[in-house]
Amino acid sequence: MRRLLFLLVVLFLAAWPAAAAGVPVIFDTDMGNDVDDALALAVLHALDSRGECRLIAVTITKDNRWSAPYADLVNTFYGRAHIPVGMVKGSGITPKDSPMIQVPSERKGADGRPVYPRRIASGAEAPDAVALLRRVLAAEQDTSVVIVQVGFSTNLARLLDSGPDSASPLPGRELAARKVRLLSIMAGNFADGKPEYNVQQDVASAQKLLAEWPTRIVASGFEIGASLLFPASSIEGDFSYVTDHPVRDAYRNYQKMPYDRPTWDLTAALYAVRPDSGYFSLSPAGTITADARGGTRFSPDAKGRHHYLTVSEAQHPRTLEALILLASQPPLSR
């Protein structure tokens, strides 16, 4: 009995550091195309500060030079400048400049120094996203990593096709199968199946991901975020704990204030880290497919690996409150 107790204590202590550090999360984003990506990154930093997750990498699918610098300056603002940022290389998808990421990245104070310090000057400096994904996946425990994909499927489709490298002898598909616990995506539309932006912009990669990704996928469809609006009043009030806030700055530069914005990407981030908190419900198991126009279809199948989120009227207030509180939670160091 005493030996058993000793063994249990040893096992507990061995498991404790990983549990205390929270679930390892990769955030894959088209940062710059809509402001919900910036709010979703803030949510993940708050959950990291609470010890519920550990943000291990940010990878970008918007082929624009300011996307990686902006993600990097947000990470720095939250006291996590060490988080590596990887960049999609040569995809040519949504290359257009966007004030929401460019203005905060270029903003300088009266002393001529950047208001938001960062390490990466331009996306060209950031490492290739697929190489980074392989490196961070290889370093984590088996079936531990949660990936939050809130942009296009370009990086993850390329990961599936990647070959062995210095990070891992495994091909990409096997590496994902071994390391990833869950893929939480903002993609598709399960209310009316209409083409959805994240699928539309890179249909071939979305089709590949849905057909070949080896783990569970839970999709937050267009209708979920559209039913939960992030209020402009929170942006103006709850982020005032600091004079210059990179997420509020992005929000103000995305559209003319005041405006409320759907919480699409925030919902995928929240579900990824708190899947069992009752913020959402899950569809039955099934298979999601995408057509050539970017429309999505769900076919129930008890053996399917895919689900989509639903949110009831009763769940709405609590879920939105959680998103607002987490997105506006100050960094630990402030």
Q: What residues make contact with Ca ion under the rule CB under 5 A?
A: 30, 37, 150-151, 265
Q: Which is nearer to Ca ion, 30 or 48 (CB)?
A: 30
> Closest separation between CB of residue 31 and Ca ion, Å?
7
> Among all chains, which residue has been given the structure tokens 């609590």?
318
Q: Which is nearer to Ca ion, 24 or 151 (CB)?
A: 151
Q: Are 328 and 231 in contact, with CB atoms under 8 Å apart?
A: no
Quote the Cα angle for 90-93-99, to 5°: 110
> Closest separation between CB of residue 37 and Ca ion, Å?
4
How far apart CA 218 and CA 165 sit, in angstroms, is 29
Q: Which is nearer to Ca ion, 28 or 249 (CB)?
A: 28
How far apart CA 139 and CA 83 sit, in angstroms, is 14
DSSP of 16-27, one letter per residue? Answer: HHHHHH-EEEEE
Q: Are 305 and 285 in contact, with CB atoms under 8 Å apart?
A: yes
> Closest separation between CB of residue 36 and Ca ion, Å?
6
Burial 15-39 (b: 16+ CB within 10 A, else e): eeeeeeebbbbbbbbbbbbbbbbbb
Q: Which is nearer to Ca ion, 40 or 180 (CB)?
A: 40
> Closest separation between CB of residue 149 and Ca ion, Å?
9
How far apart CA 128 and CA 110 sit, in angstroms, is 35
> Closest separation between CB of residue 150 and Ca ion, Å?
4
> Closest separation between CB of residue 62 and Ca ion, Å?
8
How far apart CA 275 and CA 289 sit, in angstroms, is 23
Which residues face 58 on adjacent strands? 27, 85
Q: Which is nearer to Ca ion, 101 or 150 (CB)?
A: 150
Q: Which is nearer to Ca ion, 37 or 196 (CB)?
A: 37
